[in-house]
Amino acid sequence: MVVSSKSFLMYAKCIPSGECLKCPIRGRSITYGPFKSRRRGVSIGINLFPIAKVCSFNCIYCFRGPTKILSVEPVDDGAGINESLLKDSLRIAYEEVMKEFRTINAIDFSGSGEPTLHPKLPELVGTVKSFVKEYGLDVSVGMFTNSTTLHSNHIVKTLKNLDYVEAKLDTVIQSKFELINIPHKTLSIDRIVNNLRNFRKEFNGVLTIQTILIKYNNIINYTFEDAKALAEALTTIEPDEVHLYTTYKTPRVENVEKVSYEVMRDFSNVLERYGLKVEIYLS
Ligand code: SF4
């Protein structure tokens, strides 16, 4: 079911394959789902950029397509998502989820791009929290972020209101970071790691680091040295968990390849030797 407003949709039910690049909606809805996953249970996703993908990265494996607005500053894609649009959209999504699953475990900001770049993020987090309270729900409210805005006090203050933050860190090596994540030119991986470290000290919810292992021509981020360098950085960040993925959906750049379970397991073993709690997700 889809409900339209302007040139985007209030809600879109995801296609069974979950392949965003093969979906006719292609990220043009505010809420989407429902999903059932090992990591978040039954969840709804929130997309704050339903018109054009806004991100500070343009990752080669992104399954949302190319970044349309590459920015490290808050920017609206023209959709003007506000509190009342989000609330209406959440209500529609919630009713759809309850029809199918009769329960909901999580509501997550994720979607097309980097949600923390939305100019109204504090108000929109407040909208979700009020919605949860109003409906008497026992859900985890989360944010999937690429970790590039954690230098900002107002983003840290906003994220502290959440139950769950999953923060991306695919590599701690600047040259690989530039080739894999294709970041805005002002971004450095050392500063991102430092910001994650500081964020951990402030955030009392569940902090998960998300690492995506890939192969693209001669670029790989899963050697023993990659794992060791990442593990050393992660021990200073102290996340609750590390989630390892590979490209399980169609990547935006052809020839970005998945890695095998064995590669993920070996990588995981290195992290675990440093005392980190690791989960492997193949899909
Ligand atoms: S950070 Fe996420 S949304 Fe942005 S380009 Fe990378 S995978 Fe896509």
Look up residue 217 and give its two tokens.
């021509």
What span, in angstroms and rounded, lies between the C-alpha atoms of 203 and 157?
A: 9
Task: Give the pLDDT score at 2.
Answer: 40
CA 133 to ligand 1 center in whole angstroms: 30
Q: Is the CB of 268 under 6 A from ligand 1?
A: no
69, 114, 250: residue to mutate for ligand 1 pocket, most atoms within 8 A of CB: 114
Tens digits of per-residue pLDDT, 169-225? 999 999 999 999 999 999 999 999 999 999 999 999 999 999 999 999 999 999 999
Task: Give the pLDDT score at 25.
Answer: 73
Task: Give the pLDDT score at 17.
Answer: 67
Query: Vertex 140, ends 136 and 142: CA angle to 5°?
Result: 130
User: What confidence tier does 248 reach under pLDDT thresholds 50, 70, 90?
Assistant: confident
What span, in angstroms and rounded, lies between the C-alpha atoms of 227 and 271?
A: 7
CATH architecture of 2-281: Alpha-Beta Barrel (3.20)
**Secondary structure element (H or E) that encloses residue 125, with its range:** helix 121-134
Mean pLDDT of the chain: 94
Closest to 77 (Cα-Cα) out of 102, 94, 54, 98: 54
Residue 41 vs residue 20, higher pLDDT: 41
Taking residues 89-96, report their average pLDDT: 96
CA 196 to ligand 1 center in whole angstroms: 17
Residue nearest to atom 3 of ligand 1 (CA): 113
Tens digits of per-residue pLDDT, 135-170? 999 999 999 999 999 999 999 999 999 999 999 999
Task: Give the strand order in the sheet containing 256-257.
Answer: 219-220, 215-216, 256-257
User: What confidence tier does 3 reach under pLDDT thresholds 50, 70, 90?
Assistant: very low
Residue where the block lists tokens 């590599």: 171
Task: Provide the H-helix boundaries in 20-120.
Answer: 83-101
Specify the ligand 1 atom closest to the Cα of 61. Answer: 7
Q: What percent of the chain has pLDDT over 90?
A: 87
**pTM of the predicted model as reported, rounded to 2 decimal places:** 0.95
Task: Provide the H-helix boundaries in 149-280.
Answer: 153-159, 174-180, 189-202, 224-237, 261-273
| Whether residue 110 has pLDDT greater than 70 | yes
Write down the domain spans for the chain.
2-281
| Whether residue 5 has pLDDT greater than 70 | no
Specify the ligand 1 atom closest to the Cα of 168. Answer: 1
20, 48, 55: residue to mutate for ligand 1 pocket, most atoms within 8 A of CB: 55
Q: Is the CB of 64 under 6 A from ligand 1?
A: yes
